[in-house]
Structure 1
Protein backbone atom coordinates (compact mmCIF):
# COMPACT_ATOMS: atom_id res chain seq x y z
CA UNK A 1 0.00 0.00 0.00
CA UNK A 2 1.32 3.45 -0.84
CA UNK A 3 0.69 6.89 0.57
CA UNK A 4 -1.72 7.46 -2.32
CA UNK A 5 -4.06 4.74 -1.09
CA UNK A 6 -4.04 5.48 2.64
CA UNK A 7 -6.54 8.06 3.72
CA UNK A 8 -5.60 9.20 7.18
CA UNK A 9 -8.31 10.53 9.46
CA UNK A 10 -8.63 14.29 8.78
CA UNK A 11 -7.43 15.61 12.13
CA UNK A 12 -4.61 13.08 12.16
CA UNK A 13 -3.53 14.15 8.67
CA UNK A 14 -3.18 17.71 9.94
CA UNK A 15 -0.95 16.48 12.78
CA UNK A 16 1.15 14.42 10.35
CA UNK A 17 1.62 17.43 8.07
CA UNK A 18 2.75 19.47 11.06
CA UNK A 19 5.10 16.72 12.23
CA UNK A 20 6.66 16.37 8.78
CA UNK A 21 7.28 20.12 8.65
CA UNK A 22 9.42 20.01 11.80
CA UNK A 23 13.18 19.93 11.26
CA UNK A 24 15.12 16.86 12.37
CA UNK A 25 18.55 17.90 13.63
CA UNK A 26 21.71 16.38 12.22
CA UNK A 27 22.41 14.87 15.63
CA UNK A 28 19.04 13.12 15.68
CA UNK A 29 19.43 12.02 12.07
CA UNK A 30 22.63 10.27 13.10
CA UNK A 31 20.76 8.50 15.91
CA UNK A 32 17.90 7.52 13.59
CA UNK A 33 20.19 6.26 10.82
CA UNK A 34 20.72 2.99 12.69
CA UNK A 35 16.97 2.36 12.60
CA UNK A 36 16.81 3.39 8.94
CA UNK A 37 19.64 1.00 8.02
CA UNK A 38 18.07 -1.92 9.90
CA UNK A 39 14.70 -1.29 8.28
CA UNK A 40 16.17 -0.92 4.79
CA UNK A 41 18.17 -4.13 5.14
CA UNK A 42 15.03 -6.08 6.09
CA UNK A 43 13.13 -4.62 3.14
CA UNK A 44 16.00 -5.31 0.73
CA UNK A 45 16.21 -8.92 1.87
CA UNK A 46 12.45 -9.46 1.73
CA UNK A 47 12.41 -10.36 5.42
CA UNK A 48 9.67 -9.68 7.94
CA UNK A 49 10.28 -6.38 9.71
CA UNK A 50 9.45 -6.51 13.43
CA UNK A 51 10.18 -3.46 15.57
CA UNK A 52 9.73 -3.68 19.33
CA UNK A 53 9.83 -0.26 21.03
CA UNK A 54 10.97 -0.80 24.59
CA UNK A 55 10.76 1.41 27.68
CA UNK A 56 10.78 0.44 31.34
CA UNK A 57 7.06 0.78 32.11
CA UNK A 58 5.66 0.64 28.56
CA UNK A 59 3.27 3.45 29.38
CA UNK A 60 4.24 6.56 27.41
CA UNK A 61 7.24 6.88 25.07
CA UNK A 62 7.38 3.31 23.81
CA UNK A 63 3.67 3.37 22.99
CA UNK A 64 3.91 6.76 21.30
CA UNK A 65 6.74 5.28 19.22
CA UNK A 66 4.85 2.08 18.40
CA UNK A 67 1.78 3.99 17.25
CA UNK A 68 3.63 6.57 15.20
CA UNK A 69 6.03 4.06 13.65
CA UNK A 70 3.15 1.82 12.53
CA UNK A 71 1.28 4.84 11.18
CA UNK A 72 4.34 6.05 9.26
CA UNK A 73 5.09 2.57 7.91
CA UNK A 74 1.52 2.17 6.71
CA UNK A 75 1.55 5.67 5.22
CA UNK A 76 4.64 4.95 3.14
CA UNK A 77 3.61 1.39 2.29
CA UNK A 78 6.48 -0.23 4.21
CA UNK A 79 5.48 -3.68 5.52
CA UNK A 80 6.23 -3.54 9.23
CA UNK A 81 4.98 -4.97 12.51
CA UNK A 82 5.44 -2.41 15.25
CA UNK A 83 5.07 -3.44 18.88
CA UNK A 84 5.99 -2.06 22.27
CA UNK A 85 6.91 -3.56 25.60
CA UNK A 86 8.66 -2.97 28.87
CA UNK A 87 10.36 -4.67 31.77
CA UNK A 88 7.42 -3.90 34.09
CA UNK A 89 3.67 -3.95 33.41
CA UNK A 90 1.73 -0.80 34.31
CA UNK A 91 -0.83 0.68 31.89
CA UNK A 92 -0.96 2.88 28.82
CA UNK A 93 -0.93 6.17 30.73
CA UNK A 94 -4.17 8.11 30.45
CA UNK A 95 -2.28 11.33 29.74
CA UNK A 96 -0.55 9.72 26.76
CA UNK A 97 -3.88 8.31 25.56
CA UNK A 98 -5.39 11.81 25.75
CA UNK A 99 -2.50 13.17 23.70
CA UNK A 100 -2.96 10.52 21.00
CA UNK A 101 -6.63 11.50 20.81
CA UNK A 102 -5.69 15.17 20.45
CA UNK A 103 -3.33 14.15 17.65
CA UNK A 104 -6.34 12.95 15.67
CA UNK A 105 -6.33 9.19 16.21
CA UNK A 106 -9.65 7.51 16.95
CA UNK A 107 -9.33 5.47 20.12
CA UNK A 108 -11.46 2.76 21.67
CA UNK A 109 -10.60 0.52 24.58
CA UNK A 110 -11.45 -2.81 26.14
CA UNK A 111 -11.15 -3.41 29.86
CA UNK A 112 -10.42 -1.15 32.79
CA UNK A 113 -7.19 -2.13 34.55
CA UNK A 114 -4.37 -2.10 31.99
CA UNK A 115 -6.97 -1.76 29.24
CA UNK A 116 -6.25 -2.72 25.66
CA UNK A 117 -6.46 0.33 23.40
CA UNK A 118 -7.35 0.17 19.72
CA UNK A 119 -5.83 3.07 17.82
CA UNK A 120 -7.28 3.87 14.39
CA UNK A 121 -5.38 6.05 11.90
CA UNK A 122 -7.72 5.38 8.97
CA UNK A 123 -11.25 4.25 8.22
CA UNK A 124 -9.81 1.77 5.74
CA UNK A 125 -7.51 -0.24 8.01
CA UNK A 126 -7.73 -2.15 11.25
CA UNK A 127 -6.49 -0.65 14.50
CA UNK A 128 -3.11 -0.63 16.14
CA UNK A 129 -3.52 -2.53 19.41
CA UNK A 130 -1.54 -1.48 22.43
CA UNK A 131 -1.47 -2.06 26.18
CA UNK A 132 1.25 -2.23 28.79
CA UNK A 133 3.07 -5.54 28.52
CA UNK A 134 6.47 -7.13 28.87
CA UNK A 135 8.70 -6.94 25.82
CA UNK A 136 8.45 -10.73 25.42
CA UNK A 137 4.66 -10.89 25.76
CA UNK A 138 3.02 -13.32 23.34
CA UNK A 139 1.45 -10.41 21.42
CA UNK A 140 4.93 -9.27 20.39
CA UNK A 141 7.24 -11.04 17.99
CA UNK A 142 9.56 -12.64 20.54
CA UNK A 143 12.21 -13.64 17.99
CA UNK A 144 14.02 -11.78 15.22
CA UNK A 145 13.13 -8.19 16.01
CA UNK A 146 14.83 -4.84 16.24
CA UNK A 147 14.78 -3.64 19.85
CA UNK A 148 14.31 0.12 19.74
CA UNK A 149 15.22 1.43 23.19
CA UNK A 150 13.18 4.57 23.84
CA UNK A 151 14.33 5.34 27.38
CA UNK A 152 17.72 5.49 29.04
CA UNK A 153 16.70 3.37 32.04
CA UNK A 154 15.67 0.38 29.94
CA UNK A 155 18.64 0.83 27.62
CA UNK A 156 21.12 0.90 30.50
CA UNK A 157 19.51 -1.79 32.67
CA UNK A 158 18.59 -4.39 30.04
CA UNK A 159 21.95 -5.49 28.66
CA UNK A 160 20.41 -8.56 27.01
CA UNK A 161 17.00 -8.86 25.36
CA UNK A 162 16.28 -12.34 23.95
CA UNK A 163 15.16 -12.36 20.33
CA UNK A 164 16.91 -9.14 19.42
CA UNK A 165 18.56 -9.04 16.01
CA UNK A 166 19.73 -5.49 16.50
CA UNK A 167 19.61 -3.14 19.46
CA UNK A 168 18.80 0.42 18.44
CA UNK A 169 18.92 3.22 21.03
CA UNK A 170 16.47 6.02 20.14
CA UNK A 171 15.95 7.73 23.47
CA UNK A 172 13.32 10.33 24.31
CA UNK A 173 12.79 12.51 27.36
CA UNK A 174 9.96 11.34 29.59
CA UNK A 175 6.89 13.63 29.68
CA UNK A 176 6.07 12.06 33.05
CA UNK A 177 8.13 14.75 34.78
CA UNK A 178 5.38 17.23 33.86
CA UNK A 179 2.51 15.21 35.32
CA UNK A 180 0.10 17.34 37.36
CA UNK A 181 1.75 20.59 36.30
CA UNK A 182 0.37 23.41 34.12
CA UNK A 183 2.70 22.23 31.34
CA UNK A 184 1.43 18.63 31.32
CA UNK A 185 -0.79 18.75 28.25
CA UNK A 186 1.67 20.72 26.11
CA UNK A 187 4.64 18.55 27.06
CA UNK A 188 2.84 15.29 26.24
CA UNK A 189 1.79 16.71 22.88
CA UNK A 190 5.31 18.01 22.28
CA UNK A 191 6.83 14.58 22.92
CA UNK A 192 4.25 12.83 20.75
CA UNK A 193 4.87 15.28 17.92
CA UNK A 194 8.64 14.84 18.17
CA UNK A 195 8.28 11.07 17.92
CA UNK A 196 5.84 11.46 15.02
CA UNK A 197 8.30 13.71 13.21
CA UNK A 198 11.16 11.27 13.66
CA UNK A 199 9.22 8.12 12.76
CA UNK A 200 7.91 9.77 9.59
CA UNK A 201 11.47 10.84 8.78
CA UNK A 202 12.71 7.27 9.26
CA UNK A 203 10.14 5.65 6.99
CA UNK A 204 10.40 8.43 4.38
CA UNK A 205 14.00 7.30 3.88
CA UNK A 206 13.11 3.69 3.07
CA UNK A 207 13.13 2.61 -0.57
CA UNK A 208 10.99 -0.28 -1.77
CA UNK A 209 13.03 -0.48 -4.99
CA UNK A 210 15.76 -3.11 -4.85
Structure 2
Protein backbone atom coordinates (compact mmCIF):
# COMPACT_ATOMS: atom_id res chain seq x y z
CA UNK A 1 0.00 0.00 0.00
CA UNK A 2 1.25 3.50 -0.86
CA UNK A 3 1.21 5.79 2.14
CA UNK A 4 -0.06 9.29 1.43
CA UNK A 5 2.11 12.03 2.89
CA UNK A 6 0.86 12.87 6.35
CA UNK A 7 1.74 15.37 9.05
CA UNK A 8 2.69 12.95 11.80
CA UNK A 9 5.38 14.16 14.15
CA UNK A 10 8.73 13.02 12.78
CA UNK A 11 9.70 10.90 15.76
CA UNK A 12 6.40 8.97 15.63
CA UNK A 13 6.80 8.42 11.90
CA UNK A 14 10.32 7.14 12.49
CA UNK A 15 8.99 4.68 15.05
CA UNK A 16 6.25 3.48 12.71
CA UNK A 17 8.65 2.90 9.83
CA UNK A 18 10.84 0.80 12.14
CA UNK A 19 8.02 -1.57 13.09
CA UNK A 20 8.28 -5.12 11.74
CA UNK A 21 4.92 -6.88 11.22
CA UNK A 22 6.86 -10.00 10.19
CA UNK A 23 7.46 -10.57 13.92
CA UNK A 24 3.72 -11.25 14.40
CA UNK A 25 3.00 -14.98 14.56
CA UNK A 26 0.31 -16.59 12.43
CA UNK A 27 -1.55 -17.44 15.64
CA UNK A 28 -1.56 -13.80 16.65
CA UNK A 29 -2.68 -12.71 13.18
CA UNK A 30 -5.68 -15.00 13.63
CA UNK A 31 -6.48 -13.13 16.85
CA UNK A 32 -6.20 -9.79 15.02
CA UNK A 33 -8.26 -10.82 11.98
CA UNK A 34 -11.72 -10.05 13.45
CA UNK A 35 -10.63 -6.42 13.96
CA UNK A 36 -9.33 -6.28 10.38
CA UNK A 37 -12.66 -7.64 9.17
CA UNK A 38 -14.67 -5.19 11.27
CA UNK A 39 -12.76 -2.17 9.96
CA UNK A 40 -12.81 -3.44 6.37
CA UNK A 41 -16.58 -3.98 6.43
CA UNK A 42 -17.11 -0.46 7.75
CA UNK A 43 -14.87 0.98 5.02
CA UNK A 44 -16.76 -0.94 2.31
CA UNK A 45 -20.11 0.21 3.69
CA UNK A 46 -18.79 3.78 4.11
CA UNK A 47 -19.81 3.80 7.77
CA UNK A 48 -18.08 5.41 10.76
CA UNK A 49 -15.53 3.18 12.49
CA UNK A 50 -15.75 3.34 16.27
CA UNK A 51 -13.44 1.20 18.39
CA UNK A 52 -13.50 1.10 22.20
CA UNK A 53 -10.41 -0.53 23.74
CA UNK A 54 -11.29 -1.97 27.13
CA UNK A 55 -9.26 -3.27 30.07
CA UNK A 56 -9.88 -3.45 33.79
CA UNK A 57 -8.56 -0.09 35.03
CA UNK A 58 -8.30 1.89 31.77
CA UNK A 59 -4.83 2.93 32.85
CA UNK A 60 -2.23 1.25 30.59
CA UNK A 61 -2.96 -1.20 27.76
CA UNK A 62 -6.28 0.26 26.69
CA UNK A 63 -4.80 3.75 26.43
CA UNK A 64 -1.75 2.55 24.50
CA UNK A 65 -4.09 0.71 22.14
CA UNK A 66 -6.42 3.69 21.71
CA UNK A 67 -3.59 6.08 20.92
CA UNK A 68 -1.77 3.77 18.51
CA UNK A 69 -4.97 2.78 16.71
CA UNK A 70 -5.93 6.42 16.12
CA UNK A 71 -2.40 7.14 14.94
CA UNK A 72 -2.33 4.17 12.55
CA UNK A 73 -5.69 5.16 11.07
CA UNK A 74 -4.15 8.55 10.31
CA UNK A 75 -0.95 7.00 8.95
CA UNK A 76 -2.85 4.78 6.52
CA UNK A 77 -5.33 7.58 5.71
CA UNK A 78 -8.37 5.56 6.75
CA UNK A 79 -11.16 8.05 7.26
CA UNK A 80 -13.92 8.08 9.83
CA UNK A 81 -12.03 6.25 12.58
CA UNK A 82 -12.71 7.26 16.20
CA UNK A 83 -10.90 5.35 18.93
CA UNK A 84 -11.91 5.28 22.58
CA UNK A 85 -10.91 3.46 25.75
CA UNK A 86 -12.60 2.42 28.95
CA UNK A 87 -12.39 0.09 31.92
CA UNK A 88 -14.56 -2.03 34.11
CA UNK A 89 -13.64 0.65 36.67
CA UNK A 90 -12.07 4.11 36.46
CA UNK A 91 -8.68 4.80 38.05
CA UNK A 92 -6.17 7.06 36.27
CA UNK A 93 -3.96 6.99 33.20
CA UNK A 94 -0.76 5.58 34.69
CA UNK A 95 2.10 8.13 34.37
CA UNK A 96 4.54 5.59 32.92
CA UNK A 97 2.10 4.84 30.08
CA UNK A 98 1.97 8.56 29.28
CA UNK A 99 5.77 8.83 29.55
CA UNK A 100 6.19 5.89 27.19
CA UNK A 101 4.07 7.61 24.55
CA UNK A 102 5.91 10.90 25.13
CA UNK A 103 9.25 9.14 24.64
CA UNK A 104 7.97 7.86 21.28
CA UNK A 105 7.24 11.38 20.04
CA UNK A 106 3.66 12.06 21.11
CA UNK A 107 3.15 15.57 22.48
CA UNK A 108 1.40 15.16 25.82
CA UNK A 109 0.02 17.88 28.03
CA UNK A 110 -1.67 17.35 31.36
CA UNK A 111 -4.69 19.64 31.20
CA UNK A 112 -6.31 18.95 34.58
CA UNK A 113 -4.83 18.45 38.03
CA UNK A 114 -6.72 15.85 40.06
CA UNK A 115 -6.62 12.17 40.97
CA UNK A 116 -7.73 11.23 37.43
CA UNK A 117 -6.08 13.87 35.23
CA UNK A 118 -7.00 14.50 31.61
CA UNK A 119 -4.15 14.45 29.11
CA UNK A 120 -4.06 15.98 25.65
CA UNK A 121 -2.17 13.54 23.40
CA UNK A 122 -1.18 14.78 19.95
CA UNK A 123 0.33 12.74 17.12
CA UNK A 124 0.23 15.45 14.44
CA UNK A 125 0.10 19.23 14.35
CA UNK A 126 -3.21 19.55 12.52
CA UNK A 127 -5.22 16.70 14.04
CA UNK A 128 -7.49 16.75 17.08
CA UNK A 129 -5.67 15.62 20.22
CA UNK A 130 -6.70 12.37 21.83
CA UNK A 131 -8.07 13.01 25.32
CA UNK A 132 -6.55 10.45 27.66
CA UNK A 133 -8.17 9.83 31.03
CA UNK A 134 -9.49 6.82 32.90
CA UNK A 135 -13.19 6.12 32.60
CA UNK A 136 -15.64 3.26 32.78
CA UNK A 137 -16.37 1.61 29.46
CA UNK A 138 -19.94 2.99 29.43
CA UNK A 139 -18.87 6.55 30.34
CA UNK A 140 -20.75 9.37 28.60
CA UNK A 141 -17.53 10.17 26.73
CA UNK A 142 -17.65 6.80 24.93
CA UNK A 143 -19.97 5.62 22.13
CA UNK A 144 -23.27 4.02 23.08
CA UNK A 145 -23.84 1.91 19.96
CA UNK A 146 -22.33 0.83 16.63
CA UNK A 147 -18.81 0.21 17.92
CA UNK A 148 -16.37 -2.66 18.31
CA UNK A 149 -15.34 -3.53 21.88
CA UNK A 150 -11.72 -4.69 21.84
CA UNK A 151 -10.87 -6.45 25.10
CA UNK A 152 -7.18 -5.77 25.80
CA UNK A 153 -6.92 -7.75 29.04
CA UNK A 154 -8.15 -11.23 29.92
CA UNK A 155 -9.56 -10.05 33.26
CA UNK A 156 -11.87 -7.52 31.61
CA UNK A 157 -12.72 -10.02 28.88
CA UNK A 158 -13.73 -12.62 31.47
CA UNK A 159 -15.43 -10.11 33.76
CA UNK A 160 -17.60 -8.46 31.10
CA UNK A 161 -19.74 -11.11 29.45
CA UNK A 162 -21.84 -8.38 27.82
CA UNK A 163 -20.86 -4.96 26.46
CA UNK A 164 -23.99 -2.86 25.92
CA UNK A 165 -24.22 -1.35 22.44
CA UNK A 166 -21.23 -3.17 20.96
CA UNK A 167 -21.74 -4.54 17.45
CA UNK A 168 -18.70 -6.76 17.85
CA UNK A 169 -16.67 -7.97 20.79
CA UNK A 170 -13.06 -8.79 19.92
CA UNK A 171 -10.58 -10.17 22.48
CA UNK A 172 -7.03 -8.98 21.69
CA UNK A 173 -5.28 -9.32 25.01
CA UNK A 174 -1.81 -8.09 25.99
CA UNK A 175 0.41 -8.85 28.96
CA UNK A 176 0.19 -6.11 31.60
CA UNK A 177 3.38 -4.03 32.00
CA UNK A 178 2.13 -3.22 35.51
CA UNK A 179 3.94 -6.39 36.61
CA UNK A 180 7.20 -4.43 36.26
CA UNK A 181 6.16 -1.29 38.16
CA UNK A 182 8.80 -0.14 40.65
CA UNK A 183 11.46 -2.40 39.14
CA UNK A 184 14.59 -1.53 37.12
CA UNK A 185 12.85 -3.01 34.04
CA UNK A 186 9.80 -0.76 34.21
CA UNK A 187 10.67 1.68 31.42
CA UNK A 188 11.95 -1.09 29.14
CA UNK A 189 8.85 -3.25 29.62
CA UNK A 190 6.38 -0.41 29.03
CA UNK A 191 8.23 0.45 25.82
CA UNK A 192 8.20 -3.21 24.80
CA UNK A 193 4.44 -3.45 25.31
CA UNK A 194 3.83 -0.17 23.49
CA UNK A 195 5.86 -1.34 20.49
CA UNK A 196 4.03 -4.67 20.42
CA UNK A 197 0.69 -2.87 20.38
CA UNK A 198 1.91 -0.44 17.72
CA UNK A 199 3.21 -3.27 15.54
CA UNK A 200 -0.01 -5.25 15.74
CA UNK A 201 -2.19 -2.22 15.02
CA UNK A 202 0.10 -1.29 12.13
CA UNK A 203 -0.59 -4.76 10.75
CA UNK A 204 -4.35 -4.40 11.28
CA UNK A 205 -4.64 -1.08 9.46
CA UNK A 206 -2.20 -2.13 6.72
CA UNK A 207 -4.63 -4.88 5.72
CA UNK A 208 -7.46 -2.47 4.92
CA UNK A 209 -8.33 -1.96 1.25
CA UNK A 210 -9.90 1.38 0.41
Give the TM-score band, short-chain normalised. Answer: over 0.9
Give the distance between the partners of 1:132 and 1:139, measured in 2 at CA. Answer: 11
The residue aligned with 1:99 is 100
Q: Once structures 1 and 2 are overlaid, which stretch shifts more, 82-91 or 115-124?
A: 115-124
CA distance in 1, matches of 2:186, 2:19: 20
SS at match of 2:48: coil
State the shift of 1:22 in Å.
5.7
Residue of structure 1 equivalent to 2:171:
169
- Counterparts of residues 140-151 of structure 1 (less than 5 Å): 140-151=142-153
Instruction: Give the superposition deviation at 1:110.
Output: 1.1
Q: 5 Å matches for 1:1-210?
A: 3-20=3-20, 23-79=23-79, 80-112=81-113, 113-208=115-210
In structure 1, C-alpha distance between the alignment counterparts of 2:120 and 2:26, rounded to whole Å: 34
Residues 28-51 of structure 1 deviation map (CA, whole Å, 9 limit, x = unaligned)? 111000100011111111111100
- The DSSP-based 3-state class of the residue aligned with 1:43 is helix
TM-score normalized with structure 2 length: 0.95
Kindly indicate whether the alpha-carbon contact (under 8 Å) linking 1:22 and 1:197 is maintained by their aligned counterparts in 2: no
List runs of 5+ in structure 1 lacking aligned partners. Answer: none
Q: How much has 1:21 moved relative to structure 2?
A: 5.8
Moved more, 103-112 or 67-76: 103-112
3-state secondary structure, aligned to 2:70: helix
Residues 21, 200 of structure 2: 8 Å contact kept: no
Report the 3-state secondary structure (helix = DSSP H, G, I; strand = E; otherwise coil) of the residue aligned with 1:33.
helix
* RMSD, aligned CA: 1.2
- The runs of 5 or more residues in structure 2 that have no matched partner are none
* CA-CA distance at 1:136 after TM superposition: 1.1
Normalized against structure 1, the TM-score is what?
Answer: 0.95
CA distance in 2, matches of 1:20, 1:42: 26
